[in-house]
Amino acid sequence: MPSFPSYRPRRLRRTEALRSLIKETSIEPGHLIAPLFVTHEEGRHPVASMPGVSRLSVEAVVEEASSLHALGVGAVLLFGIPQQKDRRGQGAYASDGIVQQAVRAIKENKPQLVVITDVCLCEYTDHGHCGILTDAGEVDNDATLELLAQTAISQGEAGADIVAPSDMMDGRVAAVREALDAADLSGVAIMSHAAKYASAFYGPFRDAAGSAPEAGDRLGYQMDPANSDEAIREVWLDVEEGADILLVKPALPYLDIIYRVKLETGYPVAAYHVSGEYSMLRAAGERGWLDEEKALLEAAHSIRRAGADLIITYYAGQLARLLGG
Ligand code: PBG
Protein backbone atom coordinates (compact mmCIF):
# COMPACT_ATOMS: atom_id res chain seq x y z
CA MET A 1 0.00 0.00 0.00
CA PRO A 2 1.55 3.31 -1.06
CA SER A 3 1.50 6.15 1.41
CA PHE A 4 1.07 9.91 1.44
CA PRO A 5 2.08 11.97 -0.49
CA SER A 6 2.29 9.53 -3.42
CA TYR A 7 -1.20 8.28 -2.58
CA ARG A 8 -3.83 10.95 -2.03
CA PRO A 9 -7.35 9.47 -1.69
CA ARG A 10 -8.85 12.93 -2.13
CA ARG A 11 -7.73 13.01 -5.80
CA LEU A 12 -10.67 10.82 -6.76
CA ARG A 13 -13.12 12.76 -4.61
CA ARG A 14 -12.60 16.12 -6.26
CA THR A 15 -15.67 16.21 -8.47
CA GLU A 16 -19.05 14.51 -8.64
CA ALA A 17 -18.00 12.86 -11.92
CA LEU A 18 -14.87 11.36 -10.35
CA ARG A 19 -16.78 10.20 -7.29
CA SER A 20 -19.39 8.58 -9.43
CA LEU A 21 -16.70 6.88 -11.54
CA ILE A 22 -15.35 4.96 -8.55
CA LYS A 23 -18.65 4.27 -6.81
CA GLU A 24 -18.55 0.64 -5.64
CA THR A 25 -22.20 -0.10 -4.91
CA SER A 26 -25.43 0.90 -6.55
CA ILE A 27 -29.09 0.39 -5.87
CA GLU A 28 -31.35 -0.72 -8.69
CA PRO A 29 -35.10 -0.17 -8.36
CA GLY A 30 -35.46 -3.70 -9.72
CA HIS A 31 -33.75 -5.06 -6.60
CA LEU A 32 -36.25 -3.41 -4.27
CA ILE A 33 -39.23 -5.21 -2.77
CA ALA A 34 -42.19 -3.27 -1.38
CA PRO A 35 -44.15 -4.80 1.52
CA LEU A 36 -47.90 -4.13 1.26
CA PHE A 37 -50.71 -4.75 3.77
CA VAL A 38 -53.99 -6.02 2.32
CA THR A 39 -57.28 -5.75 4.19
CA HIS A 40 -60.95 -6.55 3.62
CA GLU A 41 -61.89 -2.95 4.42
CA GLU A 42 -62.53 -0.57 1.53
CA GLY A 43 -59.97 2.05 0.55
CA ARG A 44 -56.75 3.06 2.29
CA HIS A 45 -56.21 3.13 6.06
CA PRO A 46 -53.06 4.92 7.24
CA VAL A 47 -50.93 3.11 9.82
CA ALA A 48 -50.40 5.61 12.65
CA SER A 49 -46.88 4.51 13.54
CA MET A 50 -45.76 4.36 9.89
CA PRO A 51 -46.62 7.69 8.22
CA GLY A 52 -46.91 7.15 4.47
CA VAL A 53 -47.88 3.47 4.81
CA SER A 54 -51.51 2.30 4.64
CA ARG A 55 -53.51 -0.88 4.86
CA LEU A 56 -55.03 -1.32 1.43
CA SER A 57 -58.14 -2.94 0.03
CA VAL A 58 -57.62 -5.44 -2.80
CA GLU A 59 -58.51 -2.71 -5.28
CA ALA A 60 -56.08 -0.23 -3.70
CA VAL A 61 -53.33 -2.86 -3.53
CA VAL A 62 -53.66 -3.43 -7.28
CA GLU A 63 -53.29 0.34 -7.86
CA GLU A 64 -50.30 0.54 -5.52
CA ALA A 65 -48.62 -2.50 -7.08
CA SER A 66 -49.07 -1.10 -10.54
CA SER A 67 -47.56 2.29 -9.64
CA LEU A 68 -44.62 0.54 -7.96
CA HIS A 69 -44.17 -1.56 -11.08
CA ALA A 70 -44.19 1.60 -13.20
CA LEU A 71 -41.39 2.98 -11.00
CA GLY A 72 -39.34 -0.14 -11.68
CA VAL A 73 -39.72 -1.74 -8.23
CA GLY A 74 -38.91 -5.43 -8.66
CA ALA A 75 -41.50 -7.11 -6.46
CA VAL A 76 -44.19 -6.69 -3.84
CA LEU A 77 -44.41 -8.70 -0.62
CA LEU A 78 -47.98 -9.18 0.59
CA PHE A 79 -49.16 -9.39 4.21
CA GLY A 80 -52.83 -10.02 4.92
CA ILE A 81 -55.14 -8.78 7.63
CA PRO A 82 -58.07 -11.22 7.72
CA GLN A 83 -61.64 -10.32 8.54
CA GLN A 84 -61.57 -12.70 11.47
CA LYS A 85 -58.76 -14.17 13.50
CA ASP A 86 -59.04 -17.56 15.19
CA ARG A 87 -57.00 -20.10 17.17
CA ARG A 88 -55.70 -21.85 14.05
CA GLY A 89 -55.21 -18.87 11.74
CA GLN A 90 -57.56 -20.22 9.10
CA GLY A 91 -57.48 -17.00 7.08
CA ALA A 92 -53.87 -17.76 6.18
CA TYR A 93 -54.65 -20.84 4.11
CA ALA A 94 -58.20 -20.17 2.91
CA SER A 95 -58.29 -20.40 -0.87
CA ASP A 96 -60.27 -17.13 -0.94
CA GLY A 97 -58.21 -15.53 1.87
CA ILE A 98 -57.31 -11.88 1.58
CA VAL A 99 -53.75 -12.47 0.34
CA GLN A 100 -54.92 -15.11 -2.15
CA GLN A 101 -57.47 -12.61 -3.51
CA ALA A 102 -54.84 -9.89 -3.76
CA VAL A 103 -52.37 -12.15 -5.59
CA ARG A 104 -55.00 -13.06 -8.17
CA ALA A 105 -56.00 -9.43 -8.66
CA ILE A 106 -52.41 -8.20 -9.04
CA LYS A 107 -51.48 -11.01 -11.40
CA GLU A 108 -54.52 -10.29 -13.54
CA ASN A 109 -53.54 -6.65 -13.78
CA LYS A 110 -49.70 -6.86 -13.91
CA PRO A 111 -48.65 -10.40 -14.74
CA GLN A 112 -44.97 -9.39 -15.07
CA LEU A 113 -44.69 -8.00 -11.53
CA VAL A 114 -43.09 -10.51 -9.15
CA VAL A 115 -45.49 -11.26 -6.30
CA ILE A 116 -44.12 -12.60 -3.02
CA THR A 117 -46.39 -13.72 -0.19
CA ASP A 118 -45.66 -13.86 3.52
CA VAL A 119 -46.18 -17.34 4.96
CA CYS A 120 -46.96 -17.06 8.65
CA LEU A 121 -49.89 -17.42 11.03
CA CYS A 122 -49.40 -14.41 13.34
CA GLU A 123 -51.59 -12.05 11.33
CA TYR A 124 -54.34 -14.69 11.33
CA THR A 125 -54.33 -16.15 14.86
CA ASP A 126 -56.36 -14.54 17.63
CA HIS A 127 -53.44 -15.07 20.05
CA GLY A 128 -50.97 -13.41 17.68
CA HIS A 129 -48.33 -16.16 17.70
CA CYS A 130 -46.69 -17.36 14.50
CA GLY A 131 -47.88 -20.93 15.03
CA ILE A 132 -50.71 -22.76 16.71
CA LEU A 133 -50.62 -23.29 20.46
CA THR A 134 -50.63 -26.45 22.57
CA ASP A 135 -52.99 -26.66 25.56
CA ALA A 136 -50.05 -25.51 27.65
CA GLY A 137 -49.84 -22.34 25.53
CA GLU A 138 -46.60 -23.23 23.77
CA VAL A 139 -46.12 -22.83 20.03
CA ASP A 140 -46.47 -26.31 18.57
CA ASN A 141 -43.73 -26.53 15.96
CA ASP A 142 -44.64 -29.68 14.04
CA ALA A 143 -48.40 -29.13 14.02
CA THR A 144 -47.76 -25.62 12.67
CA LEU A 145 -45.69 -26.95 9.75
CA GLU A 146 -48.74 -28.54 8.19
CA LEU A 147 -50.66 -25.24 8.22
CA LEU A 148 -47.71 -23.30 6.84
CA ALA A 149 -47.49 -25.82 4.00
CA GLN A 150 -51.19 -25.38 3.27
CA THR A 151 -50.72 -21.60 3.31
CA ALA A 152 -47.91 -21.81 0.77
CA ILE A 153 -49.95 -24.08 -1.51
CA SER A 154 -52.96 -21.77 -1.44
CA GLN A 155 -50.72 -18.80 -2.29
CA GLY A 156 -48.91 -20.69 -5.04
CA GLU A 157 -52.23 -21.74 -6.53
CA ALA A 158 -53.33 -18.09 -6.50
CA GLY A 159 -50.26 -17.24 -8.58
CA ALA A 160 -47.52 -16.17 -6.14
CA ASP A 161 -44.05 -16.38 -7.71
CA ILE A 162 -42.23 -16.65 -4.39
CA VAL A 163 -43.43 -17.61 -0.91
CA ALA A 164 -41.65 -16.18 2.12
CA PRO A 165 -42.00 -18.14 5.37
CA SER A 166 -41.42 -15.74 8.28
CA ASP A 167 -42.63 -17.87 11.18
CA MET A 168 -39.25 -19.31 12.27
CA MET A 169 -40.57 -22.81 12.98
CA ASP A 170 -37.93 -25.53 12.61
CA GLY A 171 -38.26 -27.51 9.40
CA ARG A 172 -40.63 -25.09 7.72
CA VAL A 173 -38.67 -24.69 4.50
CA ALA A 174 -38.60 -28.45 3.90
CA ALA A 175 -42.30 -28.72 4.75
CA VAL A 176 -43.19 -25.89 2.36
CA ARG A 177 -40.91 -27.21 -0.42
CA GLU A 178 -42.32 -30.74 -0.22
CA ALA A 179 -45.89 -29.50 -0.15
CA LEU A 180 -45.40 -27.19 -3.13
CA ASP A 181 -43.73 -29.93 -5.16
CA ALA A 182 -46.47 -32.41 -4.33
CA ALA A 183 -49.08 -29.85 -5.40
CA ASP A 184 -47.43 -29.43 -8.79
CA LEU A 185 -46.02 -26.06 -7.79
CA SER A 186 -42.32 -26.85 -8.13
CA GLY A 187 -41.78 -23.53 -9.93
CA VAL A 188 -42.75 -21.49 -6.88
CA ALA A 189 -39.56 -20.24 -5.18
CA ILE A 190 -38.92 -19.89 -1.44
CA MET A 191 -37.43 -16.80 0.15
CA SER A 192 -36.88 -17.97 3.70
CA HIS A 193 -36.56 -15.66 6.69
CA ALA A 194 -33.39 -17.61 7.43
CA ALA A 195 -32.04 -15.30 10.11
CA LYS A 196 -34.93 -13.50 11.72
CA TYR A 197 -34.20 -11.89 15.05
CA ALA A 198 -36.61 -11.29 17.93
CA SER A 199 -36.54 -7.56 17.36
CA ALA A 200 -38.11 -4.51 18.96
CA PHE A 201 -37.96 -2.93 15.49
CA TYR A 202 -41.07 -4.91 14.45
CA GLY A 203 -43.29 -2.76 16.71
CA PRO A 204 -44.96 -0.62 14.01
CA PHE A 205 -45.60 -3.69 11.81
CA ARG A 206 -47.53 -5.30 14.64
CA ASP A 207 -49.68 -2.15 14.81
CA ALA A 208 -50.27 -2.37 11.08
CA ALA A 209 -51.14 -6.07 11.08
CA GLY A 210 -52.66 -6.25 14.57
CA SER A 211 -50.30 -9.18 15.16
CA ALA A 212 -48.71 -8.48 18.55
CA PRO A 213 -48.77 -11.65 20.69
CA GLU A 214 -51.62 -11.49 23.17
CA ALA A 215 -49.41 -13.10 25.80
CA GLY A 216 -45.70 -13.80 25.92
CA ASP A 217 -43.21 -12.91 23.21
CA ARG A 218 -41.45 -14.48 20.24
CA LEU A 219 -38.18 -15.35 21.98
CA GLY A 220 -39.04 -19.04 21.78
CA TYR A 221 -38.81 -19.05 17.99
CA GLN A 222 -37.08 -15.92 16.70
CA MET A 223 -33.34 -15.46 17.21
CA ASP A 224 -31.48 -13.79 20.06
CA PRO A 225 -29.94 -10.49 18.84
CA ALA A 226 -26.73 -11.44 20.64
CA ASN A 227 -26.05 -14.36 18.29
CA SER A 228 -24.18 -14.56 15.02
CA ASP A 229 -22.88 -18.16 14.58
CA GLU A 230 -26.40 -19.39 15.23
CA ALA A 231 -27.61 -17.35 12.25
CA ILE A 232 -25.21 -19.25 10.02
CA ARG A 233 -26.59 -22.58 11.26
CA GLU A 234 -30.15 -21.35 10.61
CA VAL A 235 -29.16 -20.28 7.13
CA TRP A 236 -27.50 -23.58 6.19
CA LEU A 237 -30.53 -25.50 7.44
CA ASP A 238 -32.74 -23.46 5.13
CA VAL A 239 -30.37 -23.99 2.21
CA GLU A 240 -30.43 -27.74 2.78
CA GLU A 241 -34.21 -27.69 3.03
CA GLY A 242 -34.56 -25.95 -0.33
CA ALA A 243 -34.53 -22.17 0.16
CA ASP A 244 -33.84 -20.16 -3.00
CA ILE A 245 -33.28 -16.74 -1.44
CA LEU A 246 -32.04 -16.14 2.12
CA LEU A 247 -33.44 -13.29 4.14
CA VAL A 248 -31.89 -11.44 7.07
CA LYS A 249 -34.17 -9.33 9.25
CA PRO A 250 -33.98 -6.56 10.45
CA ALA A 251 -31.32 -4.96 8.23
CA LEU A 252 -29.27 -2.10 9.68
CA PRO A 253 -28.68 -3.56 13.15
CA TYR A 254 -27.60 -6.83 11.47
CA LEU A 255 -25.25 -5.75 8.67
CA ASP A 256 -22.63 -8.17 10.00
CA ILE A 257 -25.09 -11.04 9.54
CA ILE A 258 -25.91 -9.95 5.99
CA TYR A 259 -22.18 -9.88 5.26
CA ARG A 260 -21.55 -13.35 6.69
CA VAL A 261 -24.56 -14.93 5.00
CA LYS A 262 -23.56 -13.60 1.59
CA LEU A 263 -19.92 -14.55 2.03
CA GLU A 264 -20.53 -18.03 3.39
CA THR A 265 -23.36 -19.15 1.08
CA GLY A 266 -23.07 -17.14 -2.14
CA TYR A 267 -26.86 -17.35 -2.31
CA PRO A 268 -29.11 -14.43 -3.23
CA VAL A 269 -29.54 -12.51 0.01
CA ALA A 270 -32.44 -10.24 0.85
CA ALA A 271 -32.32 -7.78 3.73
CA TYR A 272 -35.54 -6.61 5.35
CA HIS A 273 -35.37 -2.96 6.37
CA VAL A 274 -38.24 -3.38 8.81
CA SER A 275 -41.06 -1.19 10.05
CA GLY A 276 -39.17 0.27 13.03
CA GLU A 277 -36.22 1.18 10.81
CA TYR A 278 -38.66 2.96 8.50
CA SER A 279 -40.48 4.74 11.32
CA MET A 280 -37.28 5.99 12.95
CA LEU A 281 -36.14 7.65 9.73
CA ARG A 282 -39.60 9.04 9.00
CA ALA A 283 -40.02 10.45 12.49
CA ALA A 284 -36.63 12.15 12.51
CA GLY A 285 -37.22 13.40 8.97
CA GLU A 286 -40.63 14.83 9.84
CA ARG A 287 -39.14 16.71 12.77
CA GLY A 288 -36.36 18.06 10.60
CA TRP A 289 -33.77 16.34 12.79
CA LEU A 290 -32.11 14.77 9.80
CA ASP A 291 -32.34 14.86 6.03
CA GLU A 292 -34.60 11.86 5.40
CA GLU A 293 -33.69 11.34 1.75
CA LYS A 294 -29.95 11.44 2.36
CA ALA A 295 -30.24 9.19 5.39
CA LEU A 296 -32.37 6.77 3.37
CA LEU A 297 -29.86 6.58 0.52
CA GLU A 298 -27.05 6.08 3.01
CA ALA A 299 -28.95 3.30 4.78
CA ALA A 300 -29.77 1.57 1.49
CA HIS A 301 -26.16 1.74 0.29
CA SER A 302 -24.97 0.32 3.61
CA ILE A 303 -27.29 -2.64 3.22
CA ARG A 304 -26.05 -3.25 -0.33
CA ARG A 305 -22.42 -2.77 0.73
CA ALA A 306 -22.87 -5.42 3.42
CA GLY A 307 -23.79 -7.87 0.68
CA ALA A 308 -27.56 -7.84 0.24
CA ASP A 309 -28.76 -8.37 -3.31
CA LEU A 310 -32.33 -7.40 -2.53
CA ILE A 311 -33.76 -4.84 -0.14
CA ILE A 312 -37.25 -5.16 1.25
CA THR A 313 -38.34 -1.71 2.38
CA TYR A 314 -41.43 0.42 2.94
CA TYR A 315 -39.39 3.10 1.16
CA ALA A 316 -39.24 1.08 -2.08
CA GLY A 317 -41.42 3.48 -4.08
CA GLN A 318 -39.71 6.58 -2.72
CA LEU A 319 -36.25 5.10 -3.28
CA ALA A 320 -37.10 4.10 -6.85
CA ARG A 321 -38.33 7.64 -7.49
CA LEU A 322 -35.11 9.10 -6.00
CA LEU A 323 -32.93 6.78 -8.07
CA GLY A 324 -34.91 7.42 -11.21
CA GLY A 325 -33.96 11.09 -10.75
C1 PBG B 1 -44.26 -12.06 11.38
C2 PBG B 1 -43.63 -10.91 10.73
C3 PBG B 1 -43.18 -9.78 11.38
C4 PBG B 1 -42.67 -8.93 10.43
C5 PBG B 1 -42.83 -9.56 9.21
N6 PBG B 1 -43.42 -10.79 9.42
C7 PBG B 1 -43.27 -9.35 12.76
C8 PBG B 1 -43.09 -10.23 13.87
O9 PBG B 1 -42.31 -11.17 13.86
O10 PBG B 1 -43.79 -9.93 14.83
C11 PBG B 1 -42.09 -7.60 10.73
C12 PBG B 1 -41.78 -6.75 9.57
C13 PBG B 1 -41.57 -5.34 9.93
O14 PBG B 1 -41.39 -4.95 11.09
O15 PBG B 1 -41.56 -4.53 8.99
N16 PBG B 1 -44.53 -13.10 10.65
Task: Give the residue from 47, 57, 69 showing the smallest Cα distance to 101.
Answer: 57
Domain residue limits at 75: 26-322
Residue 297 within a domain: yes
Closest ligand 1 atom to Cα of 213: 10
Residue 3 within a domain: no
CA of 325 to the centre of ligand 1 (A): 31
Tell me which residue has its CA closest to atom 6 in ligand 1.
166
Residue 10 within a domain: no
Indicate if 196 belongs to the active site: yes
Residues 6+ apart with CB under 8 A from 104: 158, 159
Residue 16 within a domain: no
pLDDT of residue 325: 59
Residues of the chain with pLDDT under 50: none
Cα 234 off chain centre by? 17
Residue 84 within a domain: yes
pLDDT of residue 52: 97
> Residues with beta carbon inside 6 Å of ligand 1?
118, 120, 122, 130, 166-167, 202, 205-206, 211, 218, 274-275
CATH number at residue 99: 3.20.20.70
Note the pTM of the prediction, 2 decimals: 0.97
Residues 6+ apart with CB under 8 A from 215: 127, 137
pLDDT tens-digit readout, 195-213: 999 999 999 999 999 888 9
Q: Which of 85, 107, 249, 262 is catalytic?
A: 249
CA of 74 to the centre of ligand 1 (A): 21
The preferred substitution site among 211, 218, 219, 273 for testing ligand 1, maximizing ligand atoms within 8 Å of CB, is 211
Residue 206 within a domain: yes
The domain tally of the chain equals 1
pLDDT of residue 221: 95
Residue 7 within a domain: no
Residue 66 within a domain: yes
CA of 197 to the centre of ligand 1 (A): 10
* Distance between start and end Cα atoms, the chain: 37
